[in-house]
Structure formats: C-alpha cells, structure tokens
Chain A
Amino acid sequence: MRLALRGTAPRWLTPVLLLITVVVTFAITAGPIRAAGAAPGAAYERYVLTPLSSPASFYEVLLAATPLLFTGLAVAIAFRSGYYNIGAEGQFLAGAMGATAVALAWPDLPRGIALPVAFVAGAAGGALWALIPALLRVKLDIDEVVTTLLLNPVALLLLQGMLNGPWRNPVNQFPESQAFSGSYVLPSVIPGARVHLGFVIALALAVLAWLVISRTATGLRMRAVGLAAPAARFSGVSVQRTLLGSALASGAIAGLGGMSQVCGLQGQLTGEISSNFGYTGIVVATLGGLTALGVVLVAVLLADITVGAESAARVLQLPPQMGQVLTAVLLLVTVSLLVFRRYRLVLRPSRPPASTRQPSTPTAEHAGVSP
C-alpha cells in the first residue's frame, strides 16, 4: 500500500473528503465525550447547531469569530509567502498594548480621531513585534519559526509587566488597565448584540487580502516566493523584500486583532486578552486553505464550536476543553485527508518483486541503463 501522485483530482473528491473528515472527527471524539458522561449526538448538536439556532447566539458566534478572523488572515498572508509566522499570538498582544498605550495617553480625543489613532497604534504594535524575527530571517537567514515562537511568551510577560506596573488600575489596584474612555470603544454594529465594528473591519480586511493576493502584482510576488523562492528570485522578484513585507503585514493584521479585542469587547486591557487566538489563527489559516474566503468560513466554524463548547459545558457538564480537542482533531484529520487530493492510495506493493532487485543477476532494468 502506498501513495502515488495523481494527475488531476476529480471534482467530487473534495466534498467527499470533507464529508469523510466530519465523520472521522466525530468518530474520534465520540470516545472522550462518552467518557465525560454525555451522549455524542447531543454534544455535536450543542457544538455545531445550537449556536446557530437563534439570532442572539449567532451574533455571539460572530463576536467570537472576530479575533480569529484577524489572526487567521495574518497567518494566511505570511504562510502564502512561505514565511512561517508562528508569532501571531505575540503580535496580537503587542497590538492590544499599542492601542492601550494611546487610549491611556490621550483619553480625551474625540471618537473620529481616537479610533483611527488606536487602529494605527494596534497595527504598529503588531508590526513592530513582527519586525525583529523578520529582520533576523531576511538579514541573517535565521528560521522565523523559532524566533516568532519565542517572542510569544515575551509579549505576554511584557503585557503582565505593564499591567503590574505603569498601567495598573489606580482605582481598585487590580492588574488590569483603567476602562478606556468611550471614544475608544468600537461601537456595536447590530443593535442589542455585542458584535462590534471590529468584525466589519475584519471582513473588510479579508476582502482586501483576497484582492491583494489574487489580483495584484504584490500578491503574485508573494505567491511566487511562497511556492518556489529560487524560481521567484531568478525571475527578478526581491525575495527578501517580499518576505519582509508579508511578515510586517501579517504582524500588523494580528496587531489589529488585538486592538479590536481591547477596544471592542473589553474596553480595557487585561492579562487574559488573548485566549490562544494567535495559535488558533494557524488552525484557521490552514483549514481555510490559506485563502481569505476559507479563513472567514473556518473562523466562523471554530467560533461556532467555541460558543457551543460553553453551552455544552453548561448544559451537558462537558469540560469546555473538549472544544479545543475537537478543533485540534478536526485540523489533523482535515490536513491528513486533504493529502488525498494530490495523492491516491495504491494497493499493490511499492517495491518491484525481489528478483529484479538482486544486483548479482543482470536484469532488464540494469540492461536498460547500461550502454
């Protein structure tokens, strides 16, 4: 049994593979759900369907999808250029800190100025956090995976340091910032729901990312570098500049996610501003096939599971961590099965019969190559 390259995948294959993905994911996770004393059927209904069943909970899904849209887009843009930015988590936190810095420094700005300023500060924070690994990669050829990863805990420590030091709440002495003044709060976009302007900005960014990647020369260069850097270089693309650009754009988008989270949902900076949104962004980008539309769909799906996991914890007493397990299994099963779009399973042995491999006996194979 082995995998062999296929020519073109038949049309029906991808939908069938996705269907199998769902079945396999459910089959794998049914065990732990049973072990927790819940019926798998009822649990999946909670995870997937319940959040979509009423407008109020659907708006909660959109709210939960907002940070994942930002980090998913950030990761997708970087991965597309072959820049493996695993640091969206740190860049998200840096963006949140950037927005917090301006919100605390100039609380009295009118909203029309305050929000754009916070927007720029968030993007700048994220880009700044992405800058060092990007420079190390471009100038010294140091693997960005390691440096972006290592800067994630550093960003969290910086955040905690700021909250324990200069930004500590002067009123109650908790390690969290003061509540931002109203002009820094992203307004709700649906009356009565918590979905805020950040969601709309994220969607706009997704459209922009799609336009840039698929319709501009910059996007072509990014894709060329990601697919085959030597070939791109040979055809005159500056690989270094493209990588640097994608890395900074990726960091800026992740930083905007942090800004959207502090100014949208919380209205203040706390130590728990990110619940692994940066790492989940890698899942979102990968499952979304590194495309803008894919990122949007997967972000909403994972948000659906997240909101569903909370509901399952309340109603079925399923530990909320099951949501993370489900997401991880879904990721691994999907990437495994998508291999079959390019390869097909061949059921005959991979080696030719042993007799033709004996070097002592001359064979047709050997005869064929000898002059």
Chain B
Amino acid sequence: MIDILALIGAMLVAATPLIYAATGEVLTERAGILNLGIEGTMYAGAFSGFLVAAKTGSPWLGLAAALVLGVVAGALMGLLVVTLGVNQHVAGIGTTLLLIGASEFTNRLLYGGGALVQIDKFGLLFPDVPVLGQYVLTYVALIVVVPFVWWLLRATGFGLRVRAVGENPEAADAAGISVARTRYAALMGGGALMAAGGAFLTLAVVGTFTLNISNGRGWVCIALVIFARWRVWPAVLGALLFAGVDALQLQLVITPAFSGIPRELMLALPYLVVIAALAASGRGLVYPGAYLKPYRRA
C-alpha cells in the first residue's frame, strides 16, 4: 500500500529546492532575463554550502556562504547579459558550465574526489509528526520566502520596477527607473534563492556533497516558471506537482505490484509530466515583454 502521509512528507522535501530556485527564476525572468545559470548556481550553492559547513561545523554558516555565492553568480550573469548584452542562452549555459566545473575542481582539490565528508546537517522540526516533520528551510520557504517574493513583486515599488523593466524597459527608463540596477538586483536576489535551493540538498537532505547533486533540477525550474506563467504561487504548485510525482515513483518502486516497471521509466516520469503539463497549458503564453532582450538606450 502507498503511505499517503509519507508520500506528502517526501513530496515537501523534494519540492523545497525547486521552490527556492523557481522563485528565484521568477524574479529574474520578471525582470526580462532568462537565467540558464540556474543549474550551475544550484550546484555551486550546494557545494559552497557543504564546504563552509564542513569547515566550520555550522550548517547556518554554510547557508550564508551559499547565499553569498548566489549573489555573486547573479552579478556575473548581470555583467554578461545586462552590462555587456551577451546572448542570454549562451551566457547562462556558460555560467552553468563554469560554476559546475569550478565546484568539481575545488572538490577534487580539497577532497581528492574520494572520501565522503559528512557534515552536521539541519535537523527536522517536529521530527515525530508525520508530514509536519520537515526541515526549517522548508518552513522558511513556504511561510517566509514565497509570500515575501510574491508581496515584493506585487505590492512594492521594487516589484513594480522589476516588472516594468521586464515588460517595457524603454518606458521604465523614460520614467526614471535604472534598468540596469533593477535587473542586477533581480539577478542577485534570484541567484541567492537558487543557491539556497541547491544548499538545501547538501545541508539538509544529503549531508554531504556528491557529484551531479543538482541533477537537472535547475532545468526543471526553468520549465516550472513557464508552466506557472511567471507567477510565484503557481510555480510552488508546479514544484509540488513535480516533487509529488517524484515521491510517488520512489514509493512505487518499492511497491510489489509495480516492481515489473523499469526504475528508469519511473525516474523519467516527473520530466515527462512537466513537458506534458507545458504542452497542455502552453497555448497563448504571454512572455514578459522584454524577455531575452538586452536593453540599451537608442
């Protein structure tokens, strides 16, 4: 039998990194920038969080390091696509390759790629209660981060500026908004959230760093943001859907009735569900007006 409570609990764990990173990606895309550096930012966030936690013994310091790294990664994207106006696909893929390469290089240098170093990881809040027994970062994501970013985009001057530079940078500029400064801010804030999502993997779930730790989750978030039509709460819903399918396949694998189905098919299921969801909801998508377009004064 499938244990529904365990399933929901596992879904929340699997959804947390996606919620952080997808929220960050909503922020940058609302400012008109597709940040394909997301996969690398998650990866490097996972590694830097692990590294600092391993050196200091504190997962909180690890998280802080990941946040700093995310801001730096966002600033790098800003230099490339805002200041210089490089093609966003290329800048993003390049940033991802660089951050993954640099993380693996440093890992190899410090740990020889061999021994697994376990860190003191985050504990569970309410460990004995099903479903509610979750990591602090999961609660922070759902109660603090997502509502905050939603409020930020919807009801603050900063949010209005972000949406303005993402929809019509010429008009925003004419109204006295600094397009570059706003986009940098969105990229750096978004980068911090992506890195936090990655750090959740090492600091809470796994407790160590393994190669390929982000495993394409950043790409999933790119899809979730489009699926959510650049809104925060639907992105959370998408993350829960993906994580739910992911948690379900993990349960089905150990259910005898489904033992004949190849494990790889189950693992591929969440990706296929996201593509199907995109296909089902994809008609009439309205992209942010300045999506993929660098801005320069004429």
In A1-52, which residues have CB < 8 Å from any B CB? Answer: 2-3, 5, 32, 35-36
Q: Which residues of A contact B278 (CB under 8 A)?
A: 136, 142, 146-147
**Interface range, B side:** 35 or more
Given contacts A151-B271, A153-B268, A332-B98, contact A145 B282 (CB under 8 A): no
- Stretch in contact with the other chain, from B13-21, B139-147, B159-167, B214-222: B214-222
Give chain B nearest CB distance to A198 CB in angstroms.
24
Q: Which residues of B contact A84 (CB under 8 A)?
A: 89
Given contacts A140-B283, A164-B262, A335-B80, contact A154 B105 (CB under 8 A): no
In B91-107, which residues have CB < 8 Å from any A CB? Answer: 91, 93-95, 97-98, 100-102, 104-105
Give chain B nearest CB distance to A6 CB in angstroms.
13
Q: Is A86 an interface residue (CB 8 A)?
A: yes
Complex Cα spacing A321 to B85, Å: 28
Q: Is B2 an interface residue (CB 8 A)?
A: no
Complex Cα spacing A319 to B272, Å: 36
Nearest A residue to B296 via CB reads: A3
Q: Are A161 and B86 in contact (CB under 8 A)?
A: no
Q: Which residues of B contact A2 (CB under 8 A)?
A: 297
Q: Is B264 an interface residue (CB 8 A)?
A: yes
Nearest B residue to A37 via CB reads: B109
Complex Cα spacing A3 to B262, Å: 55
**Interface range, A side:** 35 or more
Nearest A residue to B97 via CB reads: A328
Q: Which residues of A contact B271 (CB under 8 A)?
A: 150-151, 153-154
Give chain A nearest CB distance to B279 CB in angstroms.
6
Q: Which residues of B contact A335 (CB under 8 A)?
A: 80, 86-87, 90-91, 94
In B178-209, which residues have CB < 8 Å from any A CB? Answer: none
Q: Which listed residue (A157, A165, A319, A336) contacts B108, Cβ 8 A?
A: A319
Given contacts A146-B223, A324-B100, A325-B101, contact A157 B109 (CB under 8 A): no
In A69-117, which residues have CB < 8 Å from any B CB? Answer: 84, 86
Complex Cα spacing A154 to B4, Å: 27
Q: Is B34 an interface residue (CB 8 A)?
A: yes
Q: Which listed residue (B95, B215, B262) contacts A161, Cβ 8 A?
A: B262
Q: Is B285 an interface residue (CB 8 A)?
A: yes
Q: Is A149 an interface residue (CB 8 A)?
A: yes
Complex Cα spacing A36 to B79, Å: 27
Q: Is B267 an interface residue (CB 8 A)?
A: yes
In B50-89, which residues have CB < 8 Å from any A CB? Answer: 79-80, 84-87, 89
Q: Which listed residue (A145, A328, A336) contacts B101, Cβ 8 A?
A: A328
Q: Which listed residue (A142, A164, A325, A339) contacts B282, Cβ 8 A?
A: A142
Give chain B nearest CB distance to A268 CB in angstroms.
19
Complex Cα spacing A84 to B223, Å: 15
Q: Are B34 and A150 in contact (CB under 8 A)?
A: no
Nearest B residue to A153 via CB reads: B216
Q: Are B297 and A282 in contact (CB under 8 A)?
A: no
Q: Is B155 an interface residue (CB 8 A)?
A: no
Q: Which residues of B contact A322 (CB under 8 A)?
A: 101, 105
Q: Which residues of A contact B257 (CB under 8 A)?
A: none
Given contacts A150-B219, A151-B275, A328-B97, contact A282 B109 (CB under 8 A): no
Q: Are B90 and A146 in contact (CB under 8 A)?
A: no
Q: Are A86 and B89 in contact (CB under 8 A)?
A: yes
Q: Is B265 an interface residue (CB 8 A)?
A: yes
Q: Are A339 and B285 in contact (CB under 8 A)?
A: no
Q: Are B93 and A86 in contact (CB under 8 A)?
A: yes
Q: Are A140 and B222 in contact (CB under 8 A)?
A: no
Q: Is A143 an interface residue (CB 8 A)?
A: yes
Chain B 281-297: CB-based contact to A (< 8 A → 1; otherwise 0): 01101000000000011
Q: Which residues of B contact A324 (CB under 8 A)?
A: 97, 100-101, 104-105
In A186-240, which residues have CB < 8 Å from any B CB? Answer: none
Give chain B nearest CB distance to A154 CB in angstroms.
5
Nearest A residue to B39 via CB reads: A149
Q: Is B42 an interface residue (CB 8 A)?
A: no
Q: Is A311 an interface residue (CB 8 A)?
A: no
Q: Which residues of B contact A86 (CB under 8 A)?
A: 36, 89, 93
Q: Which residues of B contact A149 (CB under 8 A)?
A: 219, 222-223
Given contacts A141-B285, A282-B93, contact A325 B275 (CB under 8 A): no
Q: Are A339 and B85 in contact (CB under 8 A)?
A: yes
Complex Cα spacing A127 to B246, Å: 28
Nearest B residue to A135 via CB reads: B279
Q: Are A329 and B98 in contact (CB under 8 A)?
A: yes
Q: Which residues of B contact A158 (CB under 8 A)?
A: 264, 268
Given contacts A32-B102, A145-B222, A328-B101, contact A339 B275 (CB under 8 A): no
Q: Which residues of B contact A140 (CB under 8 A)?
A: 279, 282-283
Nearest B residue to A287 via CB reads: B90
Q: Which residues of B contact A154 (CB under 8 A)?
A: 268, 271-272
Chain A 317-354: CB-based contact to B (< 8 A → 1; otherwise 0): 00101101101110110011001000100000010000
Question: What are the 4 tightest A-B residue pairs by CB atom distance, in nearest-first order?
Answer: A161-B264, A324-B101, A328-B98, A319-B108
Given contacts A3-B296, A153-B268, 10 further A-B contacts (CB under 8 A): A36-B105, A136-B279, A143-B285, A146-B223, A154-B272, A279-B93, A283-B97, A286-B90, A324-B104, A327-B97
Which residues of B are interface residues toward A (Cβ below 8 A)? 34, 36, 79-80, 84-87, 89-91, 93-95, 97-98, 100-102, 104-105, 108-109, 113, 215-216, 219-220, 222-223, 226, 262-265, 267-268, 271-272, 274-275, 278-279, 282-283, 285, 296-297
